[in-house]
Amino acid sequence: MANDNPWAEAAKRYKLELPEEKEKPKDWDAAYEKYAKAESRRPRRGGERSGGYGGGRGNQGGGYGRQGGGYGGHGGYRGQDDGASPRPKTTEPASAPYNFVSLPEAIVPAPLDQGLDWHKMDEKERLRLYRKYVCADGAKSGRIELSLETLTPLFIGSGSSGDTNEFFSPTGEPIVPGSTLRGFIKHMVRMVSGGAMRPGAEFTERHLYFRAIVEQGSNLADYYEERMVEIIKVPRRKGEGNKAVEVEEDRPVSKATPGFLIRVRGKYYVCPADKKRVLIPPSDPQIKARIDWDEKEHSADVITGKSPNEKKVYYRIQNADWKPEHRLPVPKSVLEDYREDKSRGRFNLLQTARPNEKPRALTGGRAQRFANSKDVDFCVPCFYMAEDGVVQHFGHGRYYRIPYEKSIADHVPAALQKDTIDFVDAIFGCKALWAGRVIFEDAVLQGAANQLAPSRSHPLMTPNPTSFQLYLKQTGKEPQHWDSAAPIRGYKLYWHQKASADSWRLDPERDRVVKGTQEIRPIAAGARFSGSIRFKNLRSEELGALLEVFSLGADGEDICFKIGQGKSLGLGSVRLKARLLLEDTEEQFAGLFTDGAWRESLEESTGEECLAAFRQWREEHLGEGKEAFEKSMKELRCLLDWNKTSLPKWQEKTAMMRIGDRSDTRFKDRVILKSALDFAR
C-alpha cells in the first residue's frame, strides 16, 4: 500500500532526484517500481534535432534518460515497463465552440495592386497614382443599408468600470457600434477575397510558451526533456561491506542556471549565481509559489508551490556575480514573449507583489543594496538559459515554461505575408499608405429591446493557441506542436448555438466566480437594428468583394454572423440583410442642392454586375489554388449556417472541453479537433 509520502520514499530508495511536478497514479509504490525499471520500453523518435528524440544526449537508450529514457536516469519517472504503450486515450472526439476556415494558397491581389511596390514608392508619386486610380471612370459610390436581427442574446460592452458592464448605449438606447460592424465585415472580406495574413495586423507575432513534464508518452514531453534536461554522473556505493564498489549513476538535472534578473536604466540583465538545495521544513505547507528574501545574506529562496506533499527541497539562489561586465543581456523580444504568455498563471517575475503578498522583486533602494549597485532598480531571482552570452528565456523554478523556437509567423505560409495589396488594403485602407473608402455607421435600435437581467456569465475564454492540437493543422495520430512544420489551421470562427436567455449565466453554486469579473446585461433575441455602410469611388470588383459577404448562402443555407462578446457561450448570433443603393453621379451634380440640403440621388441595385466582376477577378487570380479555395468557402458557409444548430446534440458537440474535469480527459489527452466539414458531418 502507498505511504503518506510515496514519491519522496521511492526517490530515496532509488537515489533519484524527485521531479518538480508529478501526476499521482493510484498505487504509488507499484507505479514507481514500474517507472524505475532499468530499461524504458517507450519507443522514441530518431533522426530529429541533434540525434533525434531517440538519439539525443542519452547515447544508449535514447533521450536524456540514457538507458531508460525520461528524466529518471536508469528508467526515469517517465519511462514505461516492458511492451507498455502510452496510457490509452479517450476515443471521444474533441468538442469546441469554434473551428477554422482554411487559408488560401496565395494572396489574390486587388486591382489597385497593379504589380507596383506601393510601400517603397515615393510619397508624392504614390498619392498621384492612387488619386488617378480612385477617380477613374466607372468608380461607384453609394451606401449599403443593413438590417440586423439578433437570434441569440447579444452583448456589446460599454467599458463601464462598475460592478455591471452595461450594453453600449451612448444615447440611452442600445447601439451596435459602427466599429463592431466594420471589424467583422472586414474579417469576412479577407476570407472571401483571398486576403493576406501579416504579422502585427492579422495576427500577433510572438513565441508561445510550454512546459510538459507529466504528459506521459507524448512527443511534447520528449521535446521538453530534450530542451531542459541533461544527465550528470553521480557516484554511488553499490553492495555491502567489503564487496561494496563505487559506481556512477545517471541523474537528470535541469539545464537552467540560477541567477538574479535585474533592471538597469530600463534594460534587463541576468547576473549569474549559485544555488543550494534546502530541505522544506514539515511546518511549511509550500502551497503557493513565492520568493523568500534574505537581504542580509544577499540570497533568495525560490519556492514553486506545487504538489506540497511531494516536494521536499527548494533552492536558495546566492553568491551572485554582480560585476557589470558579467551581466547577461535579456533582449526586448524575450521580455515581450514572457509578458505575452497568458498560460503561465499568476506568478509573473516581472510584476511586483500583489496586495497581501510578500514582495516578489526588490525595487528601488532595496534592489540597490541587495545588488551592491546604484544603477539597479529591480531585482528578482530566476532560472535561465543563455546562448553566446545572451539570455534566451527565464522563469521561476528549475523546470519553467519555455518558448518554442518557432514563432507563430513560422506557421503562416510565407506567400500570405507579402506586401501585395489585397482587397482589404484597397477597400478599408492601409494605414501607412492611404485611408479607406468605406464608412460604417452605428446600427440603431428599431422599436424596443428586451434587456436581460444582469448576471455574471461563464468565464469568457480568450484564444489560447498553446493548444496546438486545436490550432495547428494535424495530419498524423500524434499531435504536432509549435516547433513542428505544421501550418496554422486558418481563420478562427465560432459556431452558432441556440443560447437561451439564461444559458450564458454563471451558476454561483456550481461554477467558480472569477475575481474581478463584471455582471453583464445582454439584449434578448429578437431585437432589430438598422445601419449602413457608405462607400466612395469603389471599383466594381471592390464593391463586389464587399457584397460577397452578404451573398454567401447556397442550397438552403441560412448564413448568419457572430458579433459582440460571449461568442463561445452562444451569444452574438445575428441575421444580417443588405440593400445596395448606388449613387447617380450625373443626376446628383445636375443640381447639388435641393431645398437648401445636399442632394443625394440613389438608386437601388442588385449588385449582380459587381459580384460577377469580383468573382471573375478572383477566379483568374486563384490559379492552381482554386480547388483549395473552394473548399475553404465550403468551410466558411458551414461555420456560418444557422441550420447547423438543429443537428442532434449540437450544443454538446460545440461545448468547450473542461480542462480540470477528471471525467473528461479529451483536452488533457490533446485529442485533435476535426475540420469544420468533418465536425459538422
List all residues 6 or more positions away from 436 whose beta carbon is below 8 Å from its beta carbon.
427, 428, 429
Coil, strand or helix: which one is 178? helix
For residue 46, report the phi and psi dihedrals to the nearest 5 degrees.
-120, 165
Q: What is the mean pLDDT of residues 38-57?
A: 32
| 247 has pLDDT over 60 | yes
Of 549, 545, 540, the C-alpha closest to 609 is: 540
- pLDDT at res. 68: 33
- pLDDT at res. 376: 96
Classify burial at 636, counting beta carbons within 10 Å of its beta carbon; exposed 0-12, middle 13-18, buried 19 or more. buried
Of 52, 50, 48, 68, the C-alpha closest to 60 is: 68
**Angle (CA) 495 500 504, round 5°:** 75
C-alpha cell read off for 341 = 504568455
Distance CA(231)–CA(76), nearest Å, equals: 11
Residues 27 and 2: beta-carbon distance below 8 Å: yes
In the chain, what percentage of residues exceed pLDDT 70? 79
Of 317, 307, 254, 259, the C-alpha closest to 64 is: 254
| 428 has pLDDT over 90 | yes
C-alpha cell read off for 668 = 488533457
Question: How do residues 599-634 score in pLDDT, each as one tens digit?
Answer: 567 899 999 999 999 999 999 999 999 999 999 999
Residues 340 and 274: beta-carbon distance below 8 Å: no
Residue 380: beta bridge partners?
A: 261
- pLDDT at res. 287: 66
Q: Residues for the chain: how many in total? A: 681
Distance CA(156)–CA(167), nearest Å, equals: 5
Distance CA(349)–CA(370), nearest Å, equals: 17
- pLDDT at res. 518: 84
Question: How do residues 489-519 score in pLDDT, each as one tens digit?
Answer: 999 999 999 988 888 888 777 666 666 678 8
Distance CA(78)–CA(562), nearest Å, equals: 44
Identify the weakest region by mean pLDDT among 58-62, 197-201, 363-367, 440-444.
Answer: 58-62
Residues 436 and 425: beta-carbon distance below 8 Å: no
Distance CA(54)–CA(75), nearest Å, equals: 14
Question: How do residues 14-35 score in pLDDT, each as one tens digit?
Answer: 444 444 444 343 343 443 343 3
Q: Which amino acid is at 423?
A: F
Question: How do residues 305-343 score in pLDDT, each as one tens digit?
Answer: 765 456 678 899 999 999 999 999 999 999 999 999 988
For residue 420, report the phi and psi dihedrals to the nearest 5 degrees.
-55, 135
Question: Which DSSP string do the residues of 38-69 spell out, in sequence order?
Answer: SS--S----SSTTTHHHHTTTSSSSGGGTTS-
pLDDT band at 206; cut points 50, 70, 90: very high
pTM of the model: 0.80
DSSP 396: S
Sort strands 164-165 and 519-520 into parallel, antiparallel or unpaired.
parallel
Residues 52 and 229: beta-carbon distance below 8 Å: no
| 597 has pLDDT over 90 | no
Instruction: Tell me what the pLDDT averaged over the chain comes to.
Output: 83
Residues 607 and 140: beta-carbon distance below 8 Å: no
Q: What is the mean pLDDT of residues 422-442?
A: 95
Q: Could you tell me how far CA 207 lies from the centroid of its own chain? A: 10
- pLDDT at res. 596: 63
Q: What is the mean pLDDT of residues 105-120?
A: 96
Question: How do residues 476-486 score in pLDDT, each as one tens digit?
Answer: 778 899 999 99
Question: Which DSSP string do the residues of 406-421 spell out, in sequence order?
Answer: S-GGGGS-GGGSS---
The owner of cell 477617380 is: 135
